[in-house]
Chain A
């Protein structure tokens, strides 16, 4: 079987200056713009009343006691545990003790929950709008001709996507139009953003998804009953198996020194 003829296309060198470079620069600038837009769009945390803060912090205090329990000596852990459990069960830290045992209001009517949803919407919009705009821009200006050759072969399924607007049936799939350069920059520019903007920038998709999972938000959301959370935490503290880290430290020290 004869070797297939290698197709060559002579292209204008100006293609680089007028297509590849502008697309790359625009992609980098959109990433930077998205980063700063996300910073601007972030709503400052609302100022909370003192009882609310106390309610939230005391739950965090219980959790901290539970996670760091092994550092405390048995007697001091017992004292803390007894205090926290009794305070939780009496509802001492509750923001409004009268509301104990009443059903919670509908979360949809709560303005704080709506605000959280709006924040998530804004994040998604900041991703979607630039991508749609740039795709449209590239399709409007730069479609209908090939600009470069990929260094690796692809299956013919990619032909319709990467050679959109190029009406030649037999052209090798490795010749691609500007849209594929857009896709390459979309995925390949993450490290560039990292170098320009620092490691926790919001220009790349992955870090943005991570930042939406705000750890503090789920801890005491408005839809959860703080009293139930407190009782739950009291139970967790009660069943915790306490094991002091300094148990048998002398033996360990001697073993290390003699080794």
Chain B
């Protein structure tokens, strides 16, 4: 009940939430493709490639945290931990695999 009242006093506007999610997912998709290009050019195979992707997304999360959210993620995200750090990690994986395969095939194999 208390939380409900808090939400009524400080409402969360759905449009803004959608816009924030859109911005973050755009950044994630673009960087995932670029990480794929990098991993393919470096010739990473199997586990190192996926670890490269995980490290890359973590760095991107940090950059979003510092530059886009200005160090205060609770002002931009409903649940900062899930939406910024954890949520979108695997959404860019398919485009990462696509560009990774393409550039690996072009450069190495």
Q: Which residues of B contact A199 (CB under 8 A)?
A: 22
Determine how close the nearest CB of chain B comes to the CB of A126; give it in whole angstroms: 21
Which residues from chain B sit less than 8 Å from chain A, CB to CB? 5, 8-9, 22, 26, 29-30, 32-33, 39-40, 44-46, 49-50, 92, 94-95, 97-102, 104-106, 108-109
Contact indicator A151/B26 (Cβ below 8 Å): no
> Which residues of B sit under 8 angstroms from A181, Cβ to Cβ?
101
Shortest Cβ distance from residue A176 to the other chain B in the assembled complex, whole angstroms: 9
Contact A188 B97 (CB under 8 A): yes
CB of B92 to closest CB in A, whole Å: 7
Known: A190-B94, A191-B30, A191-B92. A152 touches B49 (CB 8 A): yes
The contact string, 1 if C-beta is below 8 Å from chain B, for chain A 223-250, is 0000000000000000000010100000
CA distance A150 to B105 in the complex (A): 7
B79 CB to closest chain A CB (Å) equals 21
Q: Which of these, B8, B44, B50, contacts A70 with CB under 8 Å?
A: B8
Chain A residues whose CB sits within 8 angstroms of the CB of B98 once the complex forms:
184-185, 187-189
A67 to chain B, nearest CB (A): 11
Q: Is the interface of B mostly helix, strand, loop or mixed?
A: helix
Q: Which of B9, B44, B95 contacts A151 (CB 8 A)?
A: B44
Chain A residues contacting B105 (CB-CB under 8 Å) are: 16, 20, 147-149
Which residues on A are within 8 Å of B, measured CB to CB? Answer: 16, 20, 70, 147-153, 181, 184-185, 187-192, 194-195, 199, 243, 245, 252
20 contacting pairs across A/B (C-beta < 8 A) = A20-B105, A70-B8, A147-B105, A149-B108, A151-B45, A151-B46, A151-B49, A152-B46, A184-B98, A187-B94, A188-B94, A189-B98, A191-B29, A191-B92, A192-B95, A194-B26, A195-B29, A243-B5, A245-B9, A252-B9
What 6 new A-B contacts, CB under 8 Å, besides A151-B44, A184-B97? A148-B109, A149-B104, A151-B100, A188-B95, A191-B33, A245-B8
CA distance A5 to B68 in the complex (A): 48
Q: How far is B106's CA from A191's CA once the two chains are assembled, in angstroms?
A: 22
Distance of A255 from chain B, by nearest CB (Å):
12
A70 proximity list for chain B (CB < 8 A)? 8
Cα–Cα distance between A209 and B106 once the two chains are bound (Å): 35
Cβ–Cβ contact B101 & A148, under 8 A:
yes
Contact call A150/B101, Cβ cutoff below 8 A: yes
Q: Are B95 and A190 in contact (CB under 8 A)?
A: yes
CA distance A185 to B46 in the complex (A): 19
Roughly how many angstroms separate A79 CA and B78 CA in the complex, as a whole number?
Answer: 35
Q: How far is the CA of A185 from the CA of B94 in the complex (A)?
A: 9
Residue of B nearest to A252 (CB): B9
Partner of A20, one of B29, B45, B102: B102
Q: How far is the CA of A153 from the CA of B102 in the complex (A)?
A: 15
Contact partners of B95 in chain A: CB under 8 A: 188-192
